Structure 1
Amino acid sequence: MPQIGNMQPSQNRQQAKDSVMPLSPVPLHTQIRETLRHYILDGRWPPHTQIPSESQMMSSFGVSRITIRQALGDLQKEGLIFKIIGKGSFVAKPKVFQSLSRLQGFGEAMSPAGYETCSKLLSARETEASPAVAQRFSLKPGSRVFEIQRLRYLNREPISVDVSYFLLDIGRRLVQEDLVTRDIFMILENDYGLDLTHADLQIEAICADEFLARQLGIAEGAPLLRMERMTHAGDTPVDFEFLYYRGDAFQYRLRIDRS
């Protein structure tokens, strides 16, 4: 395969052209897409590497601009590259994913995949329940709840801000626990004997405000995934959370069966 990232078009043009087969039933843009995908996935082009320009690849592969744009468009749809207007195309950082088919804490889900996780406790306090929080716990407006804010790290990079709410008795106990290295789910189940059974989820896309942007090391207004999750022990609501995940680094996956 051609070393496109390092080549001078005039020097290696024939080598590049040999990497596509004009008479193949596989379209040219598909052949080029697979070549570029190989460079990305085998680590030859690390995340945030600028890939060759459309003109360079036109010359290297000996194809038209529309063919190159089709290949790049496919890679962008897959999330393997991103474009910056006026600067070109760059290799995207691979996204971590978490399945929604099981109710798991962050560390519980990430550790089996080989990721290092930890948390930074941002705040832990008693506060007046907002209307949304009061409704989830079936409390009267103005009732007191316990709020815990944590910054979650994946392989030592900030990936999410978790804002969790609990009834006072549980919250006051949790703040005494090791919330840096342990998942709250594990504490609730193993230490407090609660049987977490299910959660109600709602996911939406939002823009990072100044606080979230500062904590996550991203630009204000950058895209985030916000999950609203109410976890139950039997029929009793236990843990209500707003989870804010970096849109450039995280995705959820869900299998849906048609019965």
Structure 2
Amino acid sequence: MTLPLNMKRPDRNRPEPLWHQAEQALRTLIADGTWPDGTQLPNEAKLSEMLGVSRITIRHALRNLEESGLLRREHGRGTFVRSSTVIAGVRGLTSFTQEMAERGLVVGSRVLEMCQMPADTEISDALDIRENEPVIKIRRLRAGNNQPVGIQTAYLPAGRVAGILDISEPMLSLYDILRNRFGIVPRVAREIYRVGTVSAEDAGLLEVEAGSPAFIVRRITSDGNGPFEFTISTMRGDRYEIRSKLHL
């Protein structure tokens, strides 16, 4: 493989570690499409020659990119650029509580924040309401078998869930509360998954290091009256899976 024109070789006179510079050089080639999804990278020896650094430095950079979800290593085949966008396969409309039950795990939930706030542009677009219209924000730490799995932040139109801030019962399943208290029954949901990393804010709660791989999930759920829930979730990459059943 010839040296890409936009590949920036590490500079030993710069203060940043060589492995960091090598990682950024490779990350740029992935981000700008020079190496698109599925591209097989040159082997460590070739990358070492291309970037002018040791194989140990290259190995460090590749490991970081793999942990960030940008690369995948296949034993005996090599290292490939991994797609950063994953769309979940078709499945039933389930809550987190149902998902954990289906996997044989005991669900846990802790409310981290629950308040009313004005909807920003992203929230208003998702819920099909006016910007700055009041919404209820519910941020929860979700667990399975007492192990943290993810952090979910749900936004609900305040007008459809009047009095929800006064509920004192544990919020294991938000959908059960919406169904039983407000007559809101989900009919359809749209989810988008992408590979991301755990923020510094969430790292301690999820018991991982900041920057650890994660699924970032955006979900809009609707009933017969339109969207009633917009949820943004950060799910630990090592404790959450996307499962699909395929048929001929």
Structure 2 residue 133 is the aligned partner of structure 1 residue 143: yes
1:230 matched residue in structure 2:
220
Of 160, 179, 182 in structure 2, the residue corresponding to residue 189 of structure 1 is 179
* Residue 227 to residue 126, structure 1, CA distance change in 2 (3 Å): same
* Residue 148 to residue 171, structure 1, CA distance change in 2 (3 Å): farther
8 Å Cα contact 2:111/2:171 also seen in 1: no
SS of residue paired to 2:222: strand
Partner amino acid for 2:215? L
**Alignment deviations for residues 115-152 of structure 1 (CA, whole Å, 9 cap, x no partner):** 11111100011112121101112222222211110001
Deviation at 1:102, TM superposition (A): 0.7
1:157 matched residue in structure 2:
147
Of 245, 249, 253 in structure 1, the residue corresponding to residue 235 of structure 2 is 245
8 Å Cα contact 1:100/1:253 also seen in 2: no
Task: State how far apart, in whole Å, the 2-side matches of 1:173 and 1:205 are.
Answer: 36
1:211 matched residue in structure 2:
201
1:221 matched residue in structure 2:
211
**Alignment deviations for residues 212-243 of structure 1 (CA, whole Å, 9 cap, x no partner):** 11210110111110110000002511111001
2:75 matched residue in structure 1:
73
Task: State how far apart, in whole Å, the 1-side matches of 2:241 and 2:206 are.
Answer: 16
SS of residue paired to 2:128: coil
Unaligned 5+ residue runs, structure 2? Answer: 1-73, 80-87
* Residue 179 to residue 229, structure 1, CA distance change in 2 (3 Å): farther
How many residue pairs get aligned? The number is 166
SS of residue paired to 1:211: helix
Question: 5 Å matches for 1:1-259?
Answer: 73=75, 101-177=91-167, 180-257=170-247
RMSD: 2.5
Deviation at 1:109, TM superposition (A): 2.1
SS of residue paired to 2:163: helix
Higher mean C-alpha deviation, range 178-187 or range 212-221: 178-187
Task: State how far apart, in whole Å, the 2-side matches of 1:160 and 1:108 are.
Answer: 15
Task: State how far apart, in whole Å, the 2-side matches of 1:246 and 1:137 are.
Answer: 26
8 Å Cα contact 1:147/1:171 also seen in 2: no
Task: State how far apart, in whole Å, the 2-side matches of 1:256 and 1:173 are.
Answer: 42
Deviation at 1:110, TM superposition (A): 1.5
Partner amino acid for 1:123? E
* Residue 73 to residue 121, structure 1, CA distance change in 2 (3 Å): same
Unaligned 5+ residue runs, structure 1? Answer: 1-71, 78-97
8 Å Cα contact 2:157/2:228 also seen in 1: yes
Partner amino acid for 1:124? M
Deviation at 1:165, TM superposition (A): 0.2
Task: State how far apart, in whole Å, the 1-side matches of 2:206 and 2:181 are.
Answer: 30
Deviation at 1:114, TM superposition (A): 2.5
**Alignment deviations for residues 180-232 of structure 1 (CA, whole Å, 9 cap, x no partner):** 35301122223322221100111111111111112101101111101100000
Task: State how far apart, in whole Å, the 1-side matches of 2:162 and 2:206 are.
Answer: 27
Greater Rg over alpha carbons, structure: 1
Partner amino acid for 2:120? S
